[in-house]
Amino acid sequence: MAYVRLSPNDPARWHQPVRGDQDKSFENGVIRVLPGSAEDFAQLHKIASSWPRTKVLAGSVAEGRITYVTRTAFWGFPDFTTVERRDGQIALYARARFGRSDLGVNGKRVQAWIDALAQR
């Protein structure tokens, strides 16, 4: 399992535009698109940055796209979430790096971030 924890995460590979303009769920991740302003995007960055075991891999609020890496608690598997600001929208794309299924973890995390944003 050392490979999972120590393998490099290339920002050029993971920090890509979110492809899609509607919600989609698949075996190892989700895409969610919601209405949102620049202020909502900045708030979502604060939420994601404070999430357990989550760090910015690439991007910034000023850039309008940020990719985060969140590691699982036990094995340290990396999951990537790209959050992108669009005209009146915020798109989130969360996916697992390893394996064919994330067991719903990415969808639950993204929904928790969206719920936290709605409470602000």
Question: Using 50, 70 and 90 to split pLDDT, how confident is the model at 118?
Answer: very high
Question: Using 50, 70 and 90 to split pLDDT, how confident is the model at 2?
Answer: low
* pLDDT tens digits, one per residue of 67-117: 999 998 888 889 999 999 999 999 999 999 887 888 889 999 999 999 999
Q: Which domains are seen in the chain, by residue range?
A: 2-118 (3.30.310.80)
pTM of the model: 0.93
Question: CA dist 81 to 2, 6, 32, 58, 97, Å?
Answer: 22, 19, 11, 11, 11
Question: CA dist 7 to 3, 4, 52, 98, Å?
Answer: 5, 6, 20, 11
Question: Is 4 a residue whose pLDDT tops 60?
Answer: no
What does the pLDDT read at residue 102? 84
What does the pLDDT read at residue 5? 62
What does the pLDDT read at residue 74? 81
Tokens 């709605």 map to which residue? 118
pLDDT mean over 10-39: 95
